């Protein structure tokens, strides 16, 4: 893996090449403006939204919509919008902090995300100019609220097989749409819906508004969590929509839907990291006040152990989501300047978006669970905010593509990229096979202060290459057959995900240390995460090896398999305590170093 | 008054939630601490901007501080102030209220004003001195801790809460008025205005520019040392019925705390 990356980011590149620390975007790269904007939005959420969380969760939609409008006037949704449409012309690089902030406010954040991340983007990126001019400025200020309607009662994961139909009228001026959309966030109050329907069997996107005859909303769903978000059916009965309301071309619905979901997944990832940070702050505050056996509970070593793990996952999550935000910023720049076709640009993100979505939702799940545990019996009561955060977290593994669907994307798409010649995966697979066969784990000089993690990452990439090769050969390179080997793809996804998070945390740590000097808290955060990632990778390696190889085949490469298992030798107890002490000193407020 | 020139004196402070820690040398550790416009100053900024929006006029802000204050000055500009003036010299790092007031008074000779607003105190050192000293140095009338303000012609009408009730005062302009909580509820700067604030002028003066020199500035106060407050002792919860609890509380206040 000695090739050097070009400076511009490239989808899946992290699997086949190395990246320089200075080439990734990190939270530390925020400009003064980015920080001022994020601070403003955080204090708006803290002072205006958090106190109203009970009203919001009681589905008092007047409160929710009122706050959405207030947020809109403040400019919360303007950052990513080009200036010509009333936005600030920034990119996700600059607005990543805003994305994180939305994770503090549970169901309200979901409403914001549905409006911005998936509601507004289809029109903004794929709509005709007149549509953009008419709607985007109003969406940017939340004068109008948007929703995205892909799922149907019978088509969830298999979303592109939507049954809704759109038929052109005889005069050619309109389409008549019939069908029902399911689980539509903001469904109860949005003013502007992107819906997907089949035109002669080709999935196509349309902009639909509630004033159109034949438009109806179903009742609110009763949900486990994110209770304050509106979730309804949208029922279209002979709904007549002008032909000019088509978003993109006939048959481009799939490309639009999947592209927009890539944005939604990364924005969701940012929100989840923000939510995790906020949860830790709440739990630490409680743990500082709660005294048992004459000691603040936050200072007990088994609580510190949790703080160490929570912090490491936040650190790696933050490192990877901001890196991906930088990547999206680069792609958006290309799209807005006309250099990149939107569908192609967004498709470039597919693997990273899927990894982010799975990683951050699963880490957030672990983190709210641990935070609730720190708060004990009180955490379990609805008097305290963690009970809500715990319930709210569960949806993240389901919506925006279930984690199972995302795992097929993250595990399978690199083969497709390789087949198109976009990444040199075949070479990587061959090199990994050679390394395992010869048990050669010499990766060249990795002698810096973080050399142990660098070496471990190189081993993790070797495991990925080796496992990808086993799967590829098992199915003789037939992509459709490989997609049936879902458990293999799940393992490949897990490997890719841990590589991406560990590498992002490593590169960020190097970038910060190059500027500010060595920092033992950062190094500890990185090593705790790398240790966790090593466990995942070893498990996946052995699962794939034992399923794809015979015992005698395994015997011939056992030495290599043992050598590649990437356990770094660290004193986890000490590292976690060190990190926890830093968390306690800052009273749970991130960053802790 | 359509062309009212309002000058707001602002100070950058730690957020009130910040937990102040001292290093081994007894100096305040500012690592990781967030800075804001001192809240009482922020009420003054908001009031000034509301007056600017209602009747024209122009709001300028003035601060004494290093380039670290730029971020909070931008917030005042994003809220709607038109211009900012910053005075700085490294010797001002340890300036007391007397020196700060001298510097502000000297800088005000370079900045036109009809009305000077400030917070009644900065939330960090709570000295309550600077606006009064500025008024004294420039021979301007001063009203402290106002909760309402209106200007007609060259007169300001202000209200302030006193122990006895509400006091209404008329004061000729130019005057120095300090803000109490309630004068105005500060707005959130909008994101577009945060972006635009970058383009607003920030004038920076050194001591020489305002006719002062480091040697001429003599402090009135010498800081001998800083220490953090002793940690609070644990509270006791007295159980039992309300009647029993009150009886026990009174007993403890008499016998243990000896305050009754």
**Among the listed residues A466, A464, A473, A474, the one whose alpha carbon sits nearest the alpha carbon of residue A496:** A464
What does the pLDDT read at residue A2? 38
Q: Does A348 share its domain with A465? A: no
What are the Cα distances from residue A458, in Å, to A317, A439, A452, B237?
20, 14, 10, 58
Q: What's the token pair of residue B2?
A: 């359509």
- B195 at A interface, C-beta within 8 A: yes
Check: CB of residue A250 under 8 Å from CB of residue A199: yes
Check: CB of residue B123 under 8 Å from CB of residue B38: yes
Cβ of A35 within 8 Å of Cβ of B71? The answer is: yes
| Residue B114 domain flag | yes
Burial class, B177, CB count within 10 angstroms (exposed 0-12 / middle 13-18 / buried 19+): buried
Question: A66: how many CB neighbours lie within 10 A of its CB?
Answer: 13
Q: Is the dihedral of CA B41, B44, B48, B53 positive or negative?
A: positive
| Residue B256 domain flag | yes
A–B interface: beta-carbon pairs under 8 A: 44
What are the Cα distances from residue B144, in Å, to B118, B159, B160?
9, 10, 8
Q: What is the DSSP string of A305-361?
A: HHHHHHHHHHHHHHHHHHHHHHHHHHHHHHHHTTSS-HHHHHHTTHHHHHHHHHHHH
pLDDT in tens, A499-543: 999 999 999 999 999 999 999 999 999 999 999 999 999 999 999
Q: What's the token pair of residue B113?
A: 């004003």
* Distance from C-alpha of A276 to C-alpha of A39, rounded to nearest angstrom: 17
DSSP code for B199: T
| Residue B223 domain flag | no
Q: How far apart are the first and last CA of chain B?
A: 57
Q: Does A399 share its domain with A290? A: yes
Q: Does B132 share its domain with B188? A: yes
Check: CB of residue B221 under 8 Å from CB of residue B96: yes
- Identify each DSSP E strand in A155-308 by its residue range: 165-168, 174-185, 192-199, 202-208, 215-217, 231-242, 246-247, 291-292, 295-296
In this structure, chain A runs to a length of 593
- B39 at A interface, C-beta within 8 A: no
* Distance from C-alpha of A234 to C-alpha of A181, rounded to nearest angstrom: 5
Q: Which residues contact A578 (CB under 8 A, 6 or more apart)?
A: A308, A520, A521, A524
Q: Does A366 share its domain with A266? A: yes
Look up the pTM and report it: 0.91
- A206 at B interface, C-beta within 8 A: no
Q: Does A59 share its domain with A208? A: yes
* Distance from C-alpha of B131 to C-alpha of B112, rounded to nearest angstrom: 17
Which of A71, A74, A89, A140 should we substitute to test contact with B (largest number of B Cβ atoms within 10 Å)? A74
| Residue A385 domain flag | yes
DSSP code for B189: P
* Distance from C-alpha of B45 to C-alpha of A206, rounded to nearest angstrom: 47
| Residue A13 domain flag | no
Q: Does B143 share its domain with B259? A: no
Q: Does B212 share its domain with B255? A: no
Longest Cα–Cα distance in chain B: 70
Q: Does B193 share its domain with B234? A: no
What does the pLDDT read at residue A533? 97
Which domain CATH number covers B18? 3.40.50.620
* Distance from C-alpha of B162 to C-alpha of B157, rounded to nearest angstrom: 16
| Residue B225 domain flag | no
| Residue B222 domain flag | no
Check: CB of residue A110 under 8 Å from CB of residue A50: no
Q: Does A375 share its domain with A444? A: no
Domain boundary among the residues A355, A372, A404 is at: A404
Q: Does A189 share its domain with A320? A: no
Domain boundary among the residues A231, A251, A271 is at: A251
CA dihedral A267, A269, A271, A273 (to 10 degrees): -150
Comparing alpha-carbon positions, the chain B residue that sits nearest to A95 is B191
Q: Does B160 share its domain with B253? A: no
Check: CB of residue B144 under 8 Å from CB of residue B176: no
Q: What's the token pair of residue A319?
A: 């490192």
Q: Does A448 share its domain with A517? A: yes
What does the pLDDT read at residue B1? 55
Residues spanned by the domain of B259: 230-260
What does the pLDDT read at residue A5? 42
Give the A window 25-64 contacts with B, CB below 8 Å. Answer: 32-33, 35-37, 39-41, 43-44
Angle at A244 between CA A238 and CA A246, to 5 degrees: 70
Q: What is chain B's pLDDT, residue by residue, as a tens digit (260 residues)?
A: 568 999 999 999 998 888 788 888 888 888 778 899 999 999 999 999 999 999 878 999 999 999 999 989 999 999 999 999 999 999 999 899 999 999 999 999 999 999 999 999 999 889 999 999 999 999 999 999 999 999 999 999 999 999 999 999 999 999 999 999 999 999 999 999 999 999 999 999 999 999 999 998 999 998 898 888 887 777 778 888 999 999 999 999 998 888 88
Angle at A87 between CA A83 and CA A93, to 5 degrees: 95
Nearest CB to A78; choose among B32, B189, B192: B192
- Report the gap between the CA of A74 and the closest CA in chain B (Å): 4
> Strands B12-14 and B35-37, how do they pair?
antiparallel
The helix/strand/coil state of A130 is: helix
Q: Does B109 share its domain with B188? A: yes
Check: CB of residue B7 under 8 Å from CB of residue B108: yes
Check: CB of residue B78 under 8 Å from CB of residue B190: yes
* Distance from C-alpha of A366 to C-alpha of A370, rounded to nearest angstrom: 6
What are the Cα distances from residue A426, in Å, to A349, A472, B116?
21, 9, 72
- Report the gap between the CA of A267 and the closest CA in chain B (Å): 19
Cβ of A36 within 8 Å of Cβ of B74? The answer is: yes
**Among the listed residues A352, A557, A333, the one whose alpha carbon sits nearest the alpha carbon of residue A462:** A557
**Which residues of A fall within a CB distance of 8 Å from B76?**
none
Give the B window 151-180 contacts with A, CB below 8 Å. Answer: none
Q: What's the token pair of residue A218?
A: 């179903």
| Residue B221 domain flag | no
Which domain CATH number covers A454? 1.20.140.10
Nearest CB to A37; choose among B34, B70, B191: B191
Nearest CB to A88; choose among B34, B78, B192: B192
Q: Does B144 share its domain with B101? A: yes
Comparing alpha-carbon positions, the chain B residue that sits nearest to A43 is B188
What are the Cα distances from residue A307, in Å, to A364, A505, B123?
13, 18, 33
User: What ipTM does the predicted assembly reach?
Assistant: 0.87
Q: What's the token pair of residue B243?
A: 């009647």
What does the pLDDT read at residue A6? 43
What are the Cα distances from residue A262, in Å, to A240, A342, A408, B183?
30, 12, 14, 47
**Which residues of B fall within a CB distance of 8 Å from A32?**
70-71, 74
Q: Does A46 share its domain with A107? A: yes
Q: Does B171 share its domain with B259? A: no
| Residue A15 domain flag | no
Check: CB of residue B116 under 8 Å from CB of residue B220: no
Q: Does B62 share its domain with B188? A: yes
* Distance from C-alpha of A403 to C-alpha of A269, rounded to nearest angstrom: 12
Which of A31, A35, A39 should we substitute to test contact with B (largest number of B Cβ atoms within 10 Å)? A39
- Report the gap between the CA of A36 and the closest CA in chain B (Å): 7
What does the pLDDT read at residue B2? 64
Q: Does A225 share its domain with A281? A: no
* Distance from C-alpha of B199 to C-alpha of A74, rounded to nearest angstrom: 19
Cβ of B78 within 8 Å of Cβ of A75? The answer is: no
Check: CB of residue A47 under 8 Å from CB of residue A62: no
Check: CB of residue A208 under 8 Å from CB of residue A193: yes
Residues spanned by the domain of A489: 423-585
Q: Does B237 share its domain with B185? A: no
* Distance from C-alpha of A306 to C-alpha of B226, rounded to nearest angstrom: 36
Which domain CATH number covers A102? 2.40.110.10
Q: Does B84 share its domain with B209? A: yes
Q: Does A104 share its domain with A236? A: yes
Q: What's the token pair of residue A54?
A: 């009970």
Total domain count, chain B: 2
- B34 at A interface, C-beta within 8 A: yes
| Residue B224 domain flag | no
| Residue B204 domain flag | yes
HSE-CB of B36 using CA atoms within 13 angstroms: 22
Q: Does A227 share its domain with A298? A: no
Helix (H) or strand (E) holding B13: strand B12-14
Q: Does A182 share its domain with A265? A: no
Q: Does B46 share its domain with B137? A: yes
For tokens 């000896």, the residue is: B258
Rounded to the nearest 10 degrees, the angle between the axes of helix B97-107 and helix B130-138 is: 50
What are the Cα distances from residue A286, in Å, to A281, A298, A376, A392?
9, 8, 10, 20
Total domain count, chain A: 3
Catalytic site positions of A: 400
Cβ of A88 within 8 Å of Cβ of B188? The answer is: no
Cβ of B194 within 8 Å of Cβ of A591? The answer is: no
Which of A43, A69, A70, A75 should we substitute to test contact with B (largest number of B Cβ atoms within 10 Å)? A75
Q: What's the token pair of residue B11?
A: 């100070």
Domain boundary among the residues A251, A268, A298 is at: A251
Q: What is chain A's pLDDT, residue by residue, as a tens digit (593 residues)?
A: 334 344 567 899 999 999 999 999 999 999 999 999 999 999 999 999 999 999 999 999 999 999 999 999 999 999 999 999 999 999 889 999 999 999 999 999 999 999 998 999 999 999 999 999 999 999 999 999 999 999 999 999 998 999 999 999 999 999 999 999 999 999 999 999 999 999 999 999 999 999 999 999 999 999 999 999 999 999 999 999 999 999 999 999 999 999 999 999 999 999 999 999 999 999 999 999 999 999 999 999 999 999 999 999 999 999 999 999 999 999 998 998 889 999 999 999 999 999 999 999 999 999 999 999 999 999 999 999 999 999 999 999 999 999 999 999 999 999 999 999 999 999 999 999 999 999 999 998 888 899 999 999 999 999 999 999 999 999 999 999 998 999 999 999 999 999 999 999 999 999 999 999 999 999 999 999 999 999 999 999 999 999 999 999 999 999 999 999 977 679 999 999 999 999 999 999 999 99
């Amino acid at each position: 893996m000695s090739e050097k990356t070009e400076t511009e980011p490239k989808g899946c590149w992290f699997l086949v090449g190395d990246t320089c620390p200075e080439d990734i975007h990190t939270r530390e790269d925020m400009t003064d403006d980015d920080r001022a904007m994020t601070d403003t939005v955080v204090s708006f959420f803290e002072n205006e939204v958090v106190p109203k969380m009970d009203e919001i969760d009681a589905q008092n939609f007047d409160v929710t919509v009122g706050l959405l409008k207030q947020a809109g006037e403040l400019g919360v949704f303007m950052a990513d919008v080009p200036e010509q449409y009333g936005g600030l012309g920034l990119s996700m690089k600059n607005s990543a902090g805003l994305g994180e902030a939305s994770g503090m406010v549970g169901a309200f954040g979901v409403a914001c995300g549905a409006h911005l991340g998936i509601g507004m983007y289809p029109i903004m990126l794929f709509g005709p100019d007149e549509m953009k001019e008419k709607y985007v400025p109003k969406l940017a200020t939340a004068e109008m609220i948007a929703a995205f309607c892909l799922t149907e009662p019978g088509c969830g994961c298999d979303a592109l097989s939507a049954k809704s139909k759109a038929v052109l009228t005889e005069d050619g001026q309109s389409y008549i749409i019939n069908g029902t959309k399911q689980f539509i966030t903001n469904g109860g109050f949005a003013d502007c819906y992107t819906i997907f329907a089949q035109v002669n069997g080709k999935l196509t996107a349309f902009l639909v508004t509630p004033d159109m005859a034949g438009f109806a909303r179903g009742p609110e769903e009763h949900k486990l969590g994110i209770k304050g978000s509106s979730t309804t059916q949208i029922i279209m009965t002979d709904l007549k929509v002008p032909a000019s309301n088509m978003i993109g071309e006939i048959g481009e619905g799939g490309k639009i839907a999947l592209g927009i979901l890539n944005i939604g997944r990364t924005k969701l990832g940012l929100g989840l990291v923000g939510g995790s940070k906020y949860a830790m702050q709440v739990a630490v505050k409680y743990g500082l006040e709660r005294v048992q056996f004459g000691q603040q509970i936050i200072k007990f070593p088994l609580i510190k152990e949790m703080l160490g793990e929570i912090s490491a996952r936040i650190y790696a999550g933050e490192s990877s989501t901001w890196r991906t935000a930088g990547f999206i910023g680069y792609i958006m720049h290309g799209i807005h300047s006309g250099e990149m076709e939107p569908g192609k640009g967004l498709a470039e993100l597919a693997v990273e978006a899927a990894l982010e979505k799975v990683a951050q939702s699963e880490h957030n799940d672990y983190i709210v669970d641990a935070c609730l545990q720190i708060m004990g019996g009180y955490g379990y009561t609805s008097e305290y905010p963690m009970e809500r955060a715990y319930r709210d977290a569960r949806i993240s593994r389901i919506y925006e593509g279930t984690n199972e669907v995302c795992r097929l994307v993250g595990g399978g798409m690199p083969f497709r990229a390789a087949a198109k010649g976009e990444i040199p995966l075949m070479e990587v697979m061959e090199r990994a096979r050679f390394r395992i066969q010869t048990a050669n784990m010499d990766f060249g000089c990795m002698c810096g202060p973080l050399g142990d993690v660098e070496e471990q990452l190189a081993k993790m990439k070797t495991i990925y290459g080796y496992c990808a090769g086993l799967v590829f050969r098992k199915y003789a390179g037939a992509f459709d057959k490989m997609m049936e080997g879902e458990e293999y793809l799940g393992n490949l996804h897990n490997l890719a995900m841990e590589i991406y998070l560990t590498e992002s945390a490593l590169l960020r740590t190097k970038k910060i240390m190059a500027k500010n000097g060595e920092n033992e808290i950062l190094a500890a955060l990185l090593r705790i995460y790398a240790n966790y990632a090593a466990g995942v990778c070893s498990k996946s390696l052995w699962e794939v090896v034992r399923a794809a190889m015979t015992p005698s085949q395994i015997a011939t490469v056992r030495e290599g398999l043992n050598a590649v298992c990437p356990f770094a030798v660290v004193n986890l107890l000490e590292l976690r305590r060190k990190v926890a002490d830093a968390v306690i000193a800052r009273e749970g407020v991130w960053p802790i170093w | 008054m359509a062309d009212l020139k309002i000058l707001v004196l602002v100070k950058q402070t730690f957020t009130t939630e910040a937990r102040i820690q001292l290093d081994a040398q007894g100096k305040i550790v500012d690592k990781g601490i967030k800075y804001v416009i001192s809240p009482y100053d922020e009420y003054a900024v908001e009031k000034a901007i509301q007056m600017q929006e209602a009747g024209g006029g122009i709001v300028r802000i003035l601060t004494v501080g290093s380039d670290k204050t730029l971020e909070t000055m931008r917030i005042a500009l994003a809220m709607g102030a038109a211009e900012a003036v910053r005075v700085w010299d490294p010797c001002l790092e340890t300036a007391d209220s007397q020196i700060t007031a001298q510097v502000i008074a000297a800088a005000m000779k370079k900045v036109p004003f009809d009305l000077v607003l400030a917070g009644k105190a900065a939330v960090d050192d709570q000295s309550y001195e600077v606006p009064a000293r500025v008024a004294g140095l420039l021979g301007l009338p001063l009203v402290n801790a106002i909760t309402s303000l209106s200007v007609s012609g060259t007169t300001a009408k202000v209200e302030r809460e006193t122990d006895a009730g509400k006091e209404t005062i008329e004061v000729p302009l130019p005057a120095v008025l300090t803000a109490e909580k309630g004068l105005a509820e500060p707005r959130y700067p909008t994101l577009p205005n945060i972006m635009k604030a970058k383009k607003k002028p920030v004038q920076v003066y050194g001591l020489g520019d305002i006719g002062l020199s480091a040697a001429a500035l003599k402090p009135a106060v010498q800081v001998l040392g800083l220490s953090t407050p002793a940690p609070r002792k644990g509270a006791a919860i007295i159980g039992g019925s309300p009647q029993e609890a009150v009886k026990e509380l009174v007993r403890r206040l008499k016998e243990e705390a000896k305050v009754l």
